[in-house]
Amino acid sequence: MKKIILMVAAAMALVVPTATAQKVNESATLAKLSKSDTEAVDAKKSAKASVWVNRAKVYTDALMEPTKSLSTSLDATFLSYTMGTPTETTTDEKGRQVLVYPWVNVYIENNRVAAWEQTKELKEGMFEVIVEAAAKALQLDPKTLSKVKPILDTAINYYSQLGEVSTFIPNFEVAIDAFVKAATLQQSEVYSQVDPKYYFFAGQMAAFLGAENKQYFVDGEKYLDKARELNYTDETGNLYYYLFHCYYGQREDDKENLVKAKNILLEGIEKFPKNERILDGLMSLYTAEEGVGDPAELVEMIDKFLAETPDNADLWFGRGRVFYKLKNFDECIASFKKIDALKPNDYDTNFYIGYFYVEKAEHENREFNSKLDSFTSQEEYLSERKRVRSVYMEAIPFLEKAHELNQENADCVQILKEVCFLLRDEAGVMDKYNKYNAIYKKLKGLE
C-alpha cells in the first residue's frame, strides 16, 4: 500500500503546473482575420460562398478565443491548467475571489468558476462581421445553410453565456448587449424564429437600469414587447411587472405611459392572479398616482373573473392579497378559506389563514390600546379585551393544521408558540405553548 501511495504522489508531482500566462493565440488569430478581410474585398474571391462561410467561422473563433477554456462550474483548481497563472488575485465588493488574467477576470464562488468578464477583444466589430458573413454566404448559395448554422449556433451560445455570467457579476449593460446579439443572430433565415427568452432577459435587465438612465426604460419596453410578440412563456408573469416599470419610468415624458402601465398590470393580473409583484405594482400605482383608479376596482375585476371560474384558487389568492393590502382582514381570510375548501390539507393555505388572523388581532389590539382611556367601565374594558384575544385564538387551529402538514417549518412553530404564550391564561393554552416551544427549540437546534 505504501508503495502505491508513493507512486501516486510521484505521478501527481509530474503534473504540477509551471507558471504560465493565459493561452490566447493572438498572432495566429489576427493573421486569419486579416486574410479573411483581404478575401472579403477581393472581387473574385468574395463571389464564393465558401469565403463567407469561412469568414463567419474565423470571426466566431476569434470571438471565443479569450474565454474558450472557461465554463461555469469549472473547478477552480483546473484553471491553472486551462488558463495559466493569473497576474493578480483580488476580492470584489461581495467577497468573491477574482482571478485577473490579461484578457479576462474570472469570478470564483465555492471553489468553482461562477462568472467572468472579458477585459479586451482581439478585434472590434466582430459581431457585425459574423452577421454580414453568414447572410452573404446564404445569399450566394442557400445550400451553405448546413455549414452556416453550426457557426451561428456557436456564436449564439457564446452571447447567451456571456449574458448569463454578466448578469451574475452583475454587469447588466454587458448582459443586455449580449442577449440582444444572441437574438439578432437568430434573425438569420437559418432559424424559424428567435427564442423570445433573449428579449425577455434583455428587457428585464433594462428595467433594472432604468432608474439610472431613462433610455433603458425605452429599450426595455422594446425588448419586452418583442418577447410578448413572440409569445414568450413566463411561468410567473414577471414580464408584465417589468414592462410596467418601463412604462411607469417614462410617465413624465408622456402621460399616456401611465395608462399603459396600469393596463399592462391589469392584463398581467388577469393571467397571473397569484403574482405578488403585479399586485403590489397595482396597489402602489393606485395609491401613488392621482386619478389612476380605486383599489376596489381590482376586487371588482377579480370578482368578475371568479363569477366565471369560482373554483380558481389562484384568483381567490389574488383577491385575498388585495384585501390584505387594504387591511380588510375579514375579506382576506374569507378568500383564503375559499382556497382551503378547494385545496384541503394545503400547508400554505392553513399557514396564511392563521397568519392573517394574527395580523387582524395585532391590528385590533393596537386599536384597543389606543382606546384605553376611553373605556367607561371595567366590564367594557374586559369585554373588548376578550374580543381581541378571541381573534388570536382563531389563529391557533389553522397554524396547528399547518404544522401537522409540514412539521419542519420553524416559522410556523415560532408564530404558534408566540400566540400561545400571549394567550397562556386561557384554558389549555399554556400546555400548547410548552409543546410548541419545545418543538421550536428542537427545530432551531437550541436544545
Residue ranges of alpha helices (H) inside 309-409 are 313-325, 329-342, 347-370, 378-405
More confident residue, 19 or 315: 315
Q: Taking 50 as the threshold, does the pLDDT of residue 14 lie above it?
A: no
Pairing assessment for the beta strands 112-118 and 104-109 based on DSSP bridges: antiparallel
Top-confidence residue, 8 or 406: 406
Instruction: Identify the residue whose cell numbers are 482581439.
Output: 122
Q: Which domain holds residue 419?
A: 345-447
pLDDT digits (tens, 9 = 90+) for 358-405: 999 999 999 999 999 999 999 999 999 999 999 999 999 999 999 999
Residue-averaged pLDDT of the chain? 91
Inform me whether the pLDDT recorded for 13 exceeds 60: no
Report yes or no on 439 lying in a domain. yes
Render pLDDT for 153-191 as a digit per residue (tens, 0 to 9): 999 999 999 999 999 999 999 999 999 999 999 999 999
Does residue 421 lie within any of the structural domains? yes
Does residue 408 sit within a domain? yes
Instruction: Provide the H-helix boundaries in 85-196.
Output: 126-140, 145-168, 172-185
Give the pLDDT score at 299.
Answer: 84
Q: At what angle do helices 49-64 and 126-140 cross, to 10 degrees?
A: 160
Q: Is residue 331 part of a domain?
A: no
Domain annotation covers residue 155? no
Question: How far is residue 103's CA from residue 88's CA, in Å, rounded to a whole number?
Answer: 12
For the record, the C-alpha cell of 431 comes out as 400546555
CATH number for position 395: 1.25.40
Is residue 183 one of the residues assigned to a domain? no
In the chain, how many domains are there?
1
Residue 347 reports pLDDT greater than 90: yes
Residue 295: cis peptide before it, omega within 30 degrees of 0: no
Question: Would the pLDDT of 4 be above 60?
Answer: no
- Over residues 230-274, the pLDDT tens digits come to 999 888 899 999 999 999 999 999 989 999 999 999 999 888 888
**Residue 359, domain member (yes or no):** yes
Q: What is the pLDDT of residues 198-216, one digit of tens each?
A: 999 999 999 999 999 999 9
pLDDT at position 20, please? 58
Q: 386 or 80: which carries more pLDDT confidence?
A: 386
Q: Which residues are 107's β-sheet partners?
A: 98, 115
CA 115/CA 166 separation, integer angstroms: 7
**Within a domain: residue 202?**
no
